[in-house]
Amino acid sequence: MELVKKEEVLEALKGVIDPEIGLDVVSLGLVYGVEVSNEGDVQVKMTMTFMGCPLTAMITEDAKYAIQSLKGVKSVNVEIVWDPPWTPDMIDPEVRAKLGI
């Protein structure tokens, strides 16, 4: 079985859009970490733009679905973390420039 690579997981997550902002979770800096085991288990740590975000469950499910569609993925766990707290400084610099931030 061919293992999925961390870069492939991040690329898949670029298709997960925060509908309130209209940008993907990777560009927004919401993905804090991706680990892929030798067995094809994928662990993702990510956050939301604010605690209590009503779209947390939807975005989490979208992320799981995007990752599960990759070849070589056996299981996916997306953990929502709040430390460190997200700030607009975490947005990709190129995206920040386009947004005028």
Question: What angle do helix axes 56-68 and 6-13 make, rounded to 10 degrees?
Answer: 130
The pLDDT value given to residue 11: 98
pLDDT exceeds cutoff 90 at 46: yes
Nearest partner of 13 among 48, 62, 74, 53, judged by Cα: 62
pTM of structure: 0.93
pLDDT exceeds cutoff 70 at 1: no
- Please give the biggest Cα pair distance in the chain: 45
The pLDDT value given to residue 34: 98
Model pLDDT for residues 59-75, shown as the tens digit of each residue: 999 999 999 999 999 99
- Give CATH superfamily name and number for 6-85: Fe-S cluster assembly (FSCA) (3.30.300.130)
Structure confidence at residue 21 as a pLDDT band (50, 70, 90): confident
